[in-house]
């Protein structure tokens, strides 16, 4: 039986700043949910409110259909893993993990059994007698997790769980945590500002910005159909082109066609991922290759037209086949993207405009 | 290299001249008339009274400053309030004021002609030239030792561990005794050691407020002076050797505990790496 969390109309102000502004969210039983957003978006504050480390100015939080705000942290059945772990520095690994059990005055054999079980789970049995300062970052992280799990919480909250770790450890721990979640099935929320991490790990992702939830959904849903321009930009690099729609064709203001979209005529902004931009070598092409940067398996190509620069991405193999070199004249093909209206909302998918190569178009086509 | 050697040589020479030599002289003078005389000087009833008085003063002043120090560091590290910086400065006041002035201020406050003198004598309470005054003076002079040691430590350590304890189900008292206090314990330990050494050795402030009645309001350090002035040089040095021995014991205790708990001290002191 996993736990669900219902968050309704949460507002939290710090002085003049509204950190959370009417946040509503349902966390489903047993899911692994990511709160993703830039720093200052309110995601950590939301986590702290659920844990009871902070109180909202208004709104409601229910854990398993029971009001949580009226209850003390210890009555909420919540485990919390802090960004910098906050391990008790004067206690050994064993005592850190045993803390909540000792607070609960659990019998000694029970404490020992439970801690040993958790040490085994985090694969640190041999380090039970060490102090936190004697552990590596990844080990501390796992101890923090074991400590939070010791009292068998109904909900697990993790604040930037991998933020302080290097890339390799981060990837390993991510897989390990995913596996752990599948075994234990505890409803888990984690906060991150790293979209790759959120997408890799979570069942569902909630995107926050400026104290509000912008979008929630599975990673694929969000990536394919971002709700607004912020989400599109936050999820990865975008070429952002001021444009206009006329008769279903999207014209960049700089004077070329970037695609077709079923949007009403008018001003829009086109968002195009680099991998949807394909440079094609052409002696008479209007674009120029400005720079090629190979980053291992992929390559990034900067393309210029009359002072405008856009970025393209392709695999290193495709680059080799294409025969593109710096300064070469090229045509550019746009194979997808999204247009948003002037407010950065109302997304409409953009498709390749068939047979159109993005060169300069006649001025008459302008809107 | 040459500069390094010269600097080290200067430091060592300085230490020998100002620390080691006086220590040797104290002990050799104390023993100059033989070990029997040395012990006779120490079991003199007046000296025994001075030892007792010194212990009593330290036994009150040190715990008092321990409690004040913890309270002050708690206030300063956990809360942000108006006047916080003023409080930090005030804690250092006893360091910047001459102990004699501190004693004098006390006389001006509690002495017979002092601010509260009339009220005190009406109620038959004697502070100046008596034990309460000496305890007050010592407490004042040694106030910064514990607080100064743990305030920076508490500030650096922040609140994270306390918050973690909250999420793990601990209540206020449990957090204080299981987390806040233990994580400060080495700072507290050093603070208490230094505070105690100073409390037992304090001269200036206590000298002003004590009546210097040999055998009644003489502490060890005052007894050294009394004996020396009455030309009982050997006894003066014998008592002085007690104070010097106390200083050495403090050092040994500190070093010994540091060595025994080196793992934990290292672990607690190392900054959180992030």
pLDDT band for A363, please (50, 70, 90 cuts): very low
* A155 Ramachandran zone, left/alpha/beta (phi>0; psi -120 to 50): beta
Lowest pLDDT segment from A37-46, B13-22, B112-121, B175-184? B112-121
Find, in chain B, the residue whose alpha carbon is nearest to that of A161: B274
Say which of B169, B266, B267 has its CB closest to residue A103: B169
Q: What is the pLDDT of residue B54?
A: 92
**Pairs of residues, one from chain A and one from chain B, whose beta carbons lie less than 8 Å apart:** 81
What's the rounded Cα separation, in Å, for the pair A293 and A289?
A: 11
pLDDT digits (tens, 9 = 90+) for A12-63: 999 899 999 999 999 999 999 999 999 889 999 999 999 999 999 999 999 9
Q: What is the pLDDT of residue B82?
A: 85
Residue length of chain A: 367
Asked whether the beta carbons of residue B161 and residue A51 sit closer than 8 angstroms, the reply is no
Separation of CA B24 from chain center: 23
What is the pLDDT averaged over residues A341-363? 69
Q: What is the pLDDT of residue B270?
A: 52
Q: What is the pLDDT of residue B2?
A: 87
| Residue B269 reports pLDDT greater than 70 | no
Contacts of A100 in chain B (CB under 8 A): 168-169
pLDDT digits (tens, 9 = 90+) for B193-207: 989 999 998 888 888
Question: B54 vs B71, B135, B233, CA distance in Å?
Answer: 26, 10, 21
Find, in chain A, the residue whose alpha carbon is nearest to that of B163: A53
Contacts of B175 in chain A (CB under 8 A): none
Half-sphere exposure of A311 (CA within 13 A, CB side): 16
Tell me which of A68, A71, A88, A152 to substitute to probe the interface with B (most B C-beta atoms closer than 10 Å): A88
Kindly list the residues of chain B whose beta carbon comes within 8 Å of any beta carbon in chain A. 157, 160-161, 163-171, 174, 178-179, 182-183, 185, 263-264, 266-268, 270, 272-274
Q: What is the pLDDT of residue A354?
A: 62
Asked whether the beta carbons of residue A90 and residue B273 sit closer than 8 angstroms, the reply is no
| Residue B74 reports pLDDT greater than 80 | yes
What is the pLDDT averaged over residues B225-242? 89
Contacts of B169 in chain A (CB under 8 A): 73-74, 100, 103-104, 151
φ/ψ of A104, rounded to 5, equals -80, 0
Query: Of B269 and B164, which is predicted with more confidence?
Result: B164
| Residue from A345, A86, A350 nearest A239 by CA | A350
Cβ proximity of A40 and A25 under 8 Å: no
Minimal C-alpha gap between B271 and chain A (Å): 8
Cβ proximity of A161 and A81 under 8 Å: yes
Say which of B160, B166, B182 has its CB closest to residue A90: B182
| Residue from A181, A158, A162 nearest A172 by CA | A162
What does the block give as tokens for A154? 């109904």
pLDDT band for A263, please (50, 70, 90 cuts): confident
Contacts of B182 in chain A (CB under 8 A): 90-91
Separation of CA A334 from chain center: 26
Q: What is the pLDDT of residue A362?
A: 40
pLDDT band for B1, please (50, 70, 90 cuts): confident
Asked whether the beta carbons of residue B263 and residue A131 sit closer than 8 angstroms, the reply is yes
Contacts of A103 in chain B (CB under 8 A): 168-170, 174, 178
Cβ proximity of A28 and A183 under 8 Å: no
Burial A292-308 (b: 16+ CB within 10 A, else e): beeeeebbbbbbebeee
Minimal C-alpha gap between B40 and chain A (Å): 47
The most confident of the ranges A207-211, A362-366, B45-49, B80-84 is A207-211
Sign of the CA dihedral running A323, A326, A329, A332: positive
What is the pLDDT averaged over residues A107-131? 93
Asked whether the beta carbons of residue B160 and residue A51 sit closer than 8 angstroms, the reply is no
Sign of the CA dihedral running A90, A93, A98, A99: positive
Asked whether the beta carbons of residue A103 and residue B161 sit closer than 8 angstroms, the reply is no
| Residue A7 reports pLDDT greater than 60 | yes
Q: What is the pLDDT of residue A151?
A: 87
Lowest pLDDT segment from A25-39, A57-71, A251-265? A251-265
What's the rounded Cα separation, in Å, for the pair B141 and B119?
A: 25
Contacts of B273 in chain A (CB under 8 A): 137
Q: For the sheet containing A329-334, what is the strand order? A: A277-281, A329-334, A287-295, A298-305, A308-315
Q: Give the percent of chain A with pLDDT over 90.
A: 58
Minimal C-alpha gap between A180 and chain B (Å): 20
Say which of B160, B169, B270 has its CB closest to residue A82: B160
Cβ proximity of A39 and A195 under 8 Å: no
What does the block give as tokens for A120? 């085994």
Question: A198 vs A57, A161, A215, CA distance in Å?
Answer: 28, 11, 14
Lowest pLDDT segment from A101-105, A350-354, B186-190, B219-223? A350-354
What is the pLDDT averaged over residues B122-150? 89
pLDDT band for B267, please (50, 70, 90 cuts): low
Say which of A52, A78, A89 has its CB closest to residue B267: A89
pLDDT band for A359, please (50, 70, 90 cuts): low
Find, in chain A, the residue whose alpha carbon is nearest to that of B175: A103
| Residue A248 reports pLDDT greater than 90 | no
Lowest pLDDT segment from A18-27, A75-84, A309-318, B210-219? B210-219
What's the rounded Cα separation, in Å, for the pair B154 and A285?
A: 66
Asked whether the beta carbons of residue A137 and residue B273 sit closer than 8 angstroms, the reply is yes
Asked whether the beta carbons of residue B167 and residue A79 sit closer than 8 angstroms, the reply is yes
Contacts of A73 in chain B (CB under 8 A): 166-167, 169
Asked whether the beta carbons of residue B272 and residue A164 sit closer than 8 angstroms, the reply is no
Detail the DSSP E strand segments found in A41-114: 58-63, 66-67, 78-81
What's the rounded Cα separation, in Å, for the pair A260 and A336?
A: 9
What is the pLDDT averaged over residues B117-136? 86
pLDDT band for A306, please (50, 70, 90 cuts): confident
ipTM of the complex: 0.80
Tell me which of B80, B167, B266 to substitute to probe the interface with A (most A C-beta atoms closer than 10 Å): B167
Q: What is the pLDDT of residue B271?
A: 46
Q: What is the pLDDT of residue B268?
A: 57
Minimal C-alpha gap between A266 and chain B (Å): 50
| Residue from A306, A256, A301, A250 nearest A280 by CA | A301
Q: What is the pLDDT of residue A1?
A: 64
Sign of the CA dihedral running B150, B151, B154, B157: negative
Say which of A53, A150, A151 has its CB closest to residue B166: A53
Q: What is the pLDDT of residue B42?
A: 87
pLDDT band for A366, please (50, 70, 90 cuts): very low
What's the rounded Cα separation, in Å, for the pair A234 and A37?
A: 8
Find, in chain A, the residue whose alpha carbon is nearest to that of B161: A86
Q: What is the pLDDT of residue B211?
A: 75
Contacts of B267 in chain A (CB under 8 A): 89-90, 131-134
Minimal C-alpha gap between B58 and chain A (Å): 29
| Residue A215 reports pLDDT greater than 90 | yes
Question: A301 vs A241, A285, A319, CA distance in Å?
Answer: 17, 16, 9
Contacts of A149 in chain B (CB under 8 A): none
Query: Of A10 and A361, which is predicted with more confidence?
Result: A10
pLDDT band for B81, please (50, 70, 90 cuts): confident
What's the rounded Cα separation, in Å, for the pair B8 and A175?
A: 55
């Amino acid at each position: 039986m996993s736990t669900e969390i219902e968050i309704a109309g949460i507002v939290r102000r710090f002085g003049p700043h509204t950190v959370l502004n009417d946040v509503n969210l349902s966390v489903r039983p047993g899911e692994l949910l990511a709160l993703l957003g830039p720093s200052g978006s309110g995601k950590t504050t939301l986590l702290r409110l659920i844990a009871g480390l902070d109180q909202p100015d208004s709104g409601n939080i229910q854990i398993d259909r029971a009001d949580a705000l009226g209850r003390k942290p210890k009555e909420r059945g919540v485990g919390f893993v802090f960004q910098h772990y906050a391990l008790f520095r004067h206690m050994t690994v064993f005592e850190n993990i045993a803390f909540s059990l000792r607070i609960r005055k659990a019998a000694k054999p029970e404490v020992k059994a439970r801690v040993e079980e958790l040490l085994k789970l985090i694969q640190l049995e041999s380090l039970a007698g060490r102090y936190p300062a004697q552990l590596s970052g990844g080990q501390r992280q796992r101890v923090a997790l074991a400590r939070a799990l010791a009292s068998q919480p109904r909900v697990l909250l993790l604040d930037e769980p991998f933020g302080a770790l290097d890339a390799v450890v981060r990837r390993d721990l991510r897989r390990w945590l995913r596996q752990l979640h599948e075994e234990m099935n505890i409803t888990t929320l984690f906060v991150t500002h790293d979209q790759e991490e959120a997408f890799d790990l979570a069942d569902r992702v909630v995107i926050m910005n400026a104290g509000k939830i912008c979008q929630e959904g599975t990673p694929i849903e969000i990536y394919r159909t971002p709700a607004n321009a912020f989400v599109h930009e936050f999820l990865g690099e975008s070429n952002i082109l001021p444009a206009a729609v006329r008769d279903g064709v999207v014209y960049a203001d700089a004077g070329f066609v970037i695609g077709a979209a079923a949007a009403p005529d008018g001003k829009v902004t086109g968002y195009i991922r680099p991998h949807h931009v394909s440079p094609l070598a052409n002696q008479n092409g209007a674009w120029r290759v400005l720079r090629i940067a190979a980053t291992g398996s992929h390559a990034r190509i900067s393309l210029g037209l009359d002072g405008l620069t856009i970025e393209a991405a392709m695999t290193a193999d495709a680059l080799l086949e294409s025969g593109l070199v710096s300064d070469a004249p090229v045509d550019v093909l746009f194979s997808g993207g999204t247009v948003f209206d002037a407010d950065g909302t109302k997304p409409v998918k953009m498709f390749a405009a068939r047979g159109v190569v993005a060169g300069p178009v006649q001025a008459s086509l302008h809107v | 290299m040459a500069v390094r050697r010269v600097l080290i040589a200067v430091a060592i020479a300085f230490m020998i001249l100002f620390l080691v030599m006086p220590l040797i002289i104290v002990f050799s003078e104390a023993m100059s008339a033989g070990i029997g005389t040395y012990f006779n000087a120490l079991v003199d009833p007046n000296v025994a009274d001075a030892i007792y008085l010194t212990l009593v003063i330290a036994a009150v002043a040190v715990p008092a400053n321990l409690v004040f120090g913890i309270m002050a560091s708690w206030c300063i590290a956990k809360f942000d309030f108006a006047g916080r910086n003023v409080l930090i400065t005030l804690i250092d006041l006893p360091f910047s004021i001459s102990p004699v002035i501190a004693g004098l201020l006390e006389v001006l406050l509690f002495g017979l002609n002092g601010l509260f003198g009339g009220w005190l004598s009406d109620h038959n309470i004697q502070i100046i030239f008596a034990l309460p005054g000496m305890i007050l003076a010592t407490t004042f002079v040694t106030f910064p030792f514990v607080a100064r040691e743990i305030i920076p430590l508490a500030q650096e350590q922040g609140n994270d561990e306390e918050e973690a304890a909250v999420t793990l189900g601990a209540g206020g008292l449990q957090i204080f005794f299981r987390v806040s206090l233990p994580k400060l314990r080495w700072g507290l330990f050093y603070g208490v050691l230094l505070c105690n050494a100073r409390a037992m050795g304090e001269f200036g402030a206590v000298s002003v407020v004590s009546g210097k009645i040999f055998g009644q309001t003489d502490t060890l350090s005052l007894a050294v002076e009394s004996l020396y002035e009455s030309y009982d040089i050997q006894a003066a040095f014998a008592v002085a050797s007690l104070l010097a021995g106390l200083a050495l014991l403090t050092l040994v205790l500190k070093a010994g505990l540091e060595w025994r708990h080196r793992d934990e001290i290292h672990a607690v002191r190392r900054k959180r790496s992030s």
